[in-house]
Structure 1
Amino acid sequence: MLRRARAAGAAVVLLAAACLGLLPAPPSAAAGAPAAADVNREPGWSADDIREEQRWVLEALNVEEAWRVTRGAGVTVALVDGSVDGGVAELRGRVTVGPELGPDDPGARTGTPGEGEDSATRHGTAMASLIAGGGTGGGRGLLGIAPEARILSLPLNFSGEDGTIPPEEDVRTLRNSPVARAIRYAADNGAQVVSMSLGAYGPHRAEREAVSYALSKGVVLVASVGNGGDSEYAAANATSFWNFPAGYSGVIGVGASGPAGEPAPFSSDNLSVLVSAPGVAVPVVLPGGEYGSSDGTSASAALVAGVVALIKAKYPDMSPQMVSRALTSTAASASGAGYDDHLGFGVVDAGAALARAGELAGAGRTPPAATPPPVADEHHFGVGPLPEEPPRPGADPLHLWLYGAGLLLGVLAFAGAVVALTRRSGAGGPA
């Protein structure tokens, strides 16, 4: 099972944010934890039956309707997470590994998809399979939401025996953050979508600026909202604490839903939740090609990143704002009450979102100029006689004649003076 470390310095960051009026009063440091998912092995699952196990997820997201249009070919999804085992059959040949961007080494090393069983690699491989799993051939193996998309793996440096993220104060004291570096790297290296199934309780200036930079380049950012829905803080305050990067403006924050479209009890509930996706017992691929299940908003974010990849494959120039609009305007809410802070606008509908994206893309085109219909001269708006034609603008005729006569007299006088001077100069010359 994968659990990321509780941030030891979170209380300091959160207290500062609360003092600025950005966030509610923070919980204790022990109550805050980055967004995480539990990834468990399922010994009974094989490549032959995994499709049946994941059927409910694909149906909940209405993916097969979207697959009639696109399967994500040509799109690269940057996965900011643990390492990805690119050797599993579902991902083989479609994983590119970027530099490791952990805090102890700001981007100097090059990572390699891990073959070990550490929890960070398990988490990264599981999320990659949900986004772009392509099956194993012959109708076997797990299918991701965008099975023809590519993965750009940007592994963060997890530390500790249990694959935990470094303590919060270690990250926040850096001039830049690993997440910020990863977002900028993705935006500069061909990624159209960034999936972040991680987070921390507290904003970071470098991350906020990196988010703005990526959005300005048309990159869509997706992040999990966190698993604090059943925490003591949530019970005491009727809301969950905000998780970042999901809490940054412009990022699509994703909550977790259950098999019936209901909010998952653990899913964080606050205004950072934009949409939701299945996050309970979601089938995934593990390193080495085994299968497991994932519980948490991490899986939900990866699924929505796959839906975004389908939209960007069909409409590559669509802005992040329009992609978000396509998702939110077609999401299905179990309560039918519109937006709420548990499910956001509802569970994503891939088929409907793709169709809506087409409508938005068409609405964004400039229509040709329309030719006004001809109108007969005697027709006009209103009743009664037509008004008389106004006088034409211009000089008064009398003033125009006076001006012309004066000009003519001036020219004649000038010519006479020239003639007189010429004669005088000729008469006074030498004999």
Structure 2
Amino acid sequence: MTGMNFLRDLASSAGVEDRQIYAPERLRFVLEAFRPGKDPDQAKRALAREIPALIGENTFDLEPLFEQPEPNGIQFFVLAMRGLDRTLPPEQLFAIAADLRHALKLISCEPDIGADVFVDPEPELPPGVESAVVDAYCLAEGKAPPDKRWALATAGVIAAWQINPAKGAGIVIAQPDTGITDHPELTDASLDRTNSLNILEGGADATDPLRAGTANPGHGTATGSVAASAESGSIAGAAPRATLVPIRCIEDVKIFDGSPVAKAVDHAVNIGAHVITMSLGGIWSRSLRRAIRKAVEHDVIVIAAAGNCVGLVVWPAAFDDAIAVGGSNVADQMWKGSSHGSKIDFCAPAEFVWRADRKSAADPRGKVSGGQGTSFAAALTAGVAALWLSHFDRPAVIIEARRRSTTVQELFRAAARQSARRPAHWQAGLGAGVINAAALLALPLSQVETAGPEFASSDAGGLESALETVLGPGQFDARFDLSAHGAEISALLVADAKAGRAPAGTAAEARAFTRASCGLAEAAGTARDPRLAQLALRTGLTAPALVTNESMDPARLAGIIKGLAVSSSAGATPESAAGMELGDAQQSLDAAGRDKIIEPLMKRLETSGRPGMAQTISDLDESLYRLHREGTAARLTESATINLEALVSLIDRPALPVETRQSPQGQVQMINVDDPALGGFGKLVMIVQGDLEQRFASVGRIDSGGTHIGSGFVVGKKSGLVVTNRHVLESLASPVPRVVNPQRWILNAPATIDFSPHADDAQQRFVVEEVLFAGPQPILRRMIDFNKLDLALLRVAATSTTGKALPPAIPIAAGAVTGAAQNLFVVGYPAPPNALPRDEKGLIRRDVVDRLRELFGLDYHRKYFSPGVVQRRSHVWVFDHDATTLGGNSGSLTAELGGRLEGIGLHFAGDWLRANHAHNLADVLAAEPGLAALLA
């Protein structure tokens, strides 16, 4: 199905649309058309006549993006589908955009994909917020300095007030953000509500509704206070007498859409704003780039936050026309989460910056706190820009810029860089230094050192530097069609950066689970820049390599020594080892104890055929010897320490491969029940071996478009029913017309479930036909919420592509899991992680997972058996367990290890071998009678 046919099929499900065209989650495209000699209304009418033939009558809304026509005949329009949420994956949206571009003969067509890019870290964000998986590392620990104006002092603002007491008076700062809410810190600020705009809901009221469930409610209030709050409160903005115009164009800064932000920038220009501050970020957008360029042409200073917790500079800061502001801290060093690179112009305080803090209606109205993020660096810089314009008189600044054949933007950029304070040992990639408002105001306009003629914006729009940041240096292909593929390339780069991708040559790949559209994959394959093919033609995930820093943490080593006592001491258990004296645990690592640890690995070596495993085992033996001899004083490399942590974490919790073997009954799926890694589970597994083989046969790997998505297993008394997670379903199908309680689901690509151990047997591969049931609430891009049912029921073909019958259904236990210590096992298809934790320096932490492959022969994407126990019941329909699982285990069977081996749970989430969560199936069926009826 082509992208256009797919869109037409979606449109047939649409109802009457009564939402604003820029409503969050609405399915929307930005069309860039060359229509010389036509005003926007004429061009709109012409497009409106062409579109129905492609996607049907009365299925869309169309309007010009910008208020004023472009002088060069290029015009931007927004096409929004009626009654349809944005539920398609990005690669499908880009495929539809490519078809629209071709059919309508457009310069470009870009979807609003809701890119998950920009997050301001907050201490209140709980573990399990998907966007925070790689963001937690960038949250600085500690408390904000007691001086609530320390950031202003550090940036030279307080001294600048002495130079010019006007403090920004007469300057208008426009703020595209979430809007503002009632807060005392903004009560006395100069707010211009008559020129405000609410792009999302319509009208002029830019009040932030502080809607629950968004990542950053109150964000605009916080950043607005840093830029322009009055001095009468407990804090003060950098330009307390400037006028602030709030523009509500985003629901939260985490989800970025280009078109409403571009419209906000255009509105700011049309109302005569002098400074635009953007504490938000996302992917490359031609419409946003044009809006910013237009602002610069109209003598507006455009400030943008560089980005947080992702490494590369995000857009719009990455555009040449924007001023990109990185983050510093109270010690004049880089704030640990700041993006960095050649695009950064300078830094401003971004760590524990005092700001207005109101995230919900229940919060105290007057709360202030120390926030973190380049959002605050950008907002403070916008205030400094207002001080500069007020001090030198904006008309005079414009005259000076004209005299130099440059723009006000470039004059300010040059002046700010020239006057910036460069601390000792300033880190590369953070620009000229920390902005210094006092030195900036003391620098006469005539002495500002500009580059000369008017600044020329590169066609690459920041993609060249982003490619280098994520994929390493290379020869950029300037001839590549960026108008067609720039937005998608940026989306893939951001996804890789968030997943922890290191530049080529420094580590093996750690790929994001994000696919390229067919059009980009085809174009990238012939590009002169091989990095584009490397980005678009992805072949799957692999674990990264290790760093080798010295590890001398005694507490860490003590935990390892005690943990190793489980497998080196006869009769020891994890509980008894925890209570063991450290000296006794250390002595247990004598020659005999080390042999007990190494023996299972040697047996694996005999059958694994892995060339590097012998050296790994030898290194482990040496590390064990050093722990026995030196205890916590041992100086081990980080690589050696993590290898030992892997041993501790996987003692009695192995992941054993399921293999097809010949038996008297024919071919069966089984594990090696003699594997020493089973530890205390060995005898129990041996007793139930025959029944286990039946369970193995009914668990399969779910693929979409040939890519591993998750796991699932056969259930129910009717033929052809497979259960998996809703978040697995969201990766292979799209809910229509809404993400909440959808009417139906449409498969994005052909999907299958394969029950063979390696998911490579056509005889055991069954086509997914339809979705029968799914939890009503969306899971992807959301906080892990136990109240949401992460379950989906699929109907699959009753016979495989070669005519083989579906495996038997797994019986579901009638009684719910009630407490801890119940033996269980998980069967599924682990995949490498798509988001990697970081250490306090922002480097990827090569955790236990990264050594599974070397130590335990874990080939990703194939079937594994993992024993464990129930740890606790954590919710009315959720229990935690400690079996070894990874990302691809989503949708795995969780069954009792004993009795009838009935299914007790559906695995849906895990946290690095430490906290795994499964839905308690008996409780789910009791709460969902519709699902129970389908399985009856």
Instruction: State whether TM-score is above 0.5.
Output: yes
Counterpart of 1:183 in 2: which secondary structure?
helix
What is the aligned counterpart of 2:326 among 255, 261, 268? 255
**2:290 aligns to what?**
209
Question: Structure 1 residue 71 and structure 2 residue 176: aligned?
Answer: no
Change (3 A) 1:86 1:74: farther
> In 2, are the aligned partners of 1:81 and 1:124 still within 8 Å (CA)?
yes
Secondary structure of 1:281's match? Answer: strand
Tell me, yes or no, if structure 1 residue 132 matches structure 2 residue 221.
no
Identify unmatched segments of 5+ residues in structure 2: 1-24, 26-87, 98-112, 125-143, 359-364, 398-407, 451-936
What is the CA-CA distance between 1:335 and the residue it aligns to?
3.5
In the alignment, the residues of structure 1 paired with residue 338 and residue 92 of structure 2 have an alpha-carbon distance, to the nearest angstrom, of 21
Q: Match of 1:306? A: 383
Letter in 1 for 2:236: L
Q: Give the drift of 1:117.
A: 7.0
| CA apart distance, 1:314 | 1.7
Per the TM alignment, residue 258 of structure 1 is displaced from its structure 2 partner at its CA by 1.2
With over 3 angstroms needed to count, the CA separation of the structure-2 counterparts of 1:267 and 1:9, relative to structure 1, is farther
Tell me which of 31, 35, 58 is aligned to 2:118: 35
Task: Using the TM superposition, give the Cα deviation of residue 298 of structure 1 relative to its aligned residue in structure 2, in angstroms.
Answer: 0.7
Q: Distance in 1 between matches of 2:334 and 2:148?
A: 19
Higher relative contact order (CA 8 A, sep 6+): 1
Aligned-partner Cα distance in 2 for 1:8–1:307: 40
Out of 347, 368, 374, which is 2:434 matched to? 347
1:14-413 alignment, distance < 5 Å: 33-39=116-122, 52-68=146-162, 69=164, 70-92=166-188, 94-97=190-193, 98-102=196-200, 108-114=202-208, 116=210, 120-136=216-232, 140-158=233-251, 163=252, 165-166=254-255, 171=257, 177-200=259-282, 202-228=283-309, 231=310, 240-287=311-358, 288-315=365-392, 316-317=394-395, 318=397, 319-335=408-424, 340-341=428-429, 343-360=430-447
CA-CA distance at 1:11 after TM superposition = 11
Aligned sequence identity (%): 25
Match of 2:302, SS? strand
Change (3 A) 1:62 1:10: farther
TM-score (norm 1): 0.64
Are the counterparts in 1 of residues 189 and 241 from structure 2 also a CA contact under 8 Å? no
Give SS of 1:261's match.
coil
Name the CA distance, whole Å, in 1 between partners of 2:220 and 2:319: 22
Contact 1:194–1:219, Cα closer than 8 Å, also in 2: yes
Looking at structure 1, the residues matched to 446 and 281 of structure 2 have their Cα atoms a distance apart, in angstroms, of 33
Supply the distance in 2 between the matched residues of 1:195 and 1:211 (Cα, whole angstroms). Answer: 11
SS in 2 for 1:329: helix
Q: Conserved in 1, the CA contact under 8 Å of 2:269 and 2:298?
A: yes
Deviation at 1:37, TM superposition (A): 1.6
**What is the rounded CA distance, in whole Å, between the counterparts of 2:345 and 2:422 in structure 1?**
12
1:370 maps to which residue?
A: none
Shift of 1:164: 6.0
In structure 2, the CA distance between the partners of 1:86 and 1:188, relative to structure 1 (3 Å rule), is: farther
CA positional deviation for 1:362: 12
1 CA distance for matches of 2:337 and 2:386?
26
Displacement of 1:39 in angstroms is 4.8
The separation in 1 between residues aligned to 2:175 and 2:385, in whole angstroms, is: 13
- 1:36 corresponds to which letter in structure 2? V
Instruction: Compare the two structures and name the one with the higher strand fraction.
Output: 2
What is the rounded CA distance, in whole Å, between the counterparts of 1:38 and 1:91 in structure 2?
A: 26
Structure 1 residue ranges, 4+ long, deviating more than 6 angstroms after superposition: 10-13
> What CA distance in whole angstroms lies between the structure 2 residues aligned with 1:11 and 1:197?
29
Q: 1:150 to 1:213 in 2, by over 3 A?
A: same
Alpha carbons 1:77, 1:192 under 8 Å: kept? yes
Deviation at 1:358, TM superposition (A): 4.0
Instruction: For structure 1, list consecutive stretches of 5 or more residues without a partner in the other structure.
Output: 17-28, 42-49, 232-239, 364-431
User: Residue 294 of structure 1: SS of its match in structure 2?
Assistant: strand
Amino acid corresponding to residue 122 of structure 1 in structure 2: G
Kept after mapping to 1: 8 A contact 2:352/2:371: yes
Q: Distance in 2 between matches of 1:110 and 1:67?
A: 33
Q: d(CA) in 2 for partners of 1:148 and 1:40?
A: 31
- Following superposition, the deviation at residue 36 of structure 1 comes to 2.8
Per the TM alignment, residue 135 of structure 1 is displaced from its structure 2 partner at its CA by 2.9
Q: CA RMSD in A?
A: 3.2
- Which digits, 9 at most, give the CA deviation of each residue in 1:122-170, with x for residues without a partner? 211110110011133xxx5111111111110011241xxxx4655x6xx
Residues 345 and 33 of structure 1: CA distance in aligned 2, closer, same or farther (over 3 Å): farther
Aligned partners of 1:362 and 1:354: how far apart in 2?
14
Q: Find the residue that maps to 1:284 and give its secondary structure.
A: strand
Change (3 A) 1:299 1:280: same
Distance 1:86 1:358 in 2: 39
Deviation at 1:101, TM superposition (A): 2.1
Question: Taking structure 1 as reference, are residues 225 and 282 closer, same or farther at Cα in structure 2, changes over 3 Å only?
Answer: same
Deviation of the 1:361 alpha carbon: 7.8
Number of residues paired by the alignment?
305
Q: Distance in 1 between matches of 2:116 and 2:369?
A: 23
Max Rg structure: 1
| Structure 2 letter corresponding to 1:275 | F
Contact 2:229–2:237 (8 Å) recurs in 1: yes
Q: What are the superposed Cα offsets for residues 362-386 of structure 1, whole Å, 9 maximum, x if unpaired? A: 99xxxxxxxxxxxxxxxxxxxxxxx
The residue matched to 1:154 in structure 2 has which SS? strand
Kept in 2, the 8 Å contact 1:79–1:151? The answer is yes
What is the distance in 2 between the residues matched to 1:255 and 1:134? 25
Q: CA, structure 1 residues 304+204, in 2 after alignment: closer, same or farther (shift >3 Å)?
A: same
Change (3 A) 1:333 1:180: same
Asked if the contact 1:35/1:298 (under 8 Å) is kept, the reply is no
The answer to whether the 8 Å contact 1:78/1:186 transfers is: yes
Residue 62 of structure 1 aligns with an amino acid whose one-letter code is G
Contact 1:66 1:354 (8 Å CA) reproduced: yes
Cα distance in structure 2, aligned partners of 1:146 and 1:242 = 26
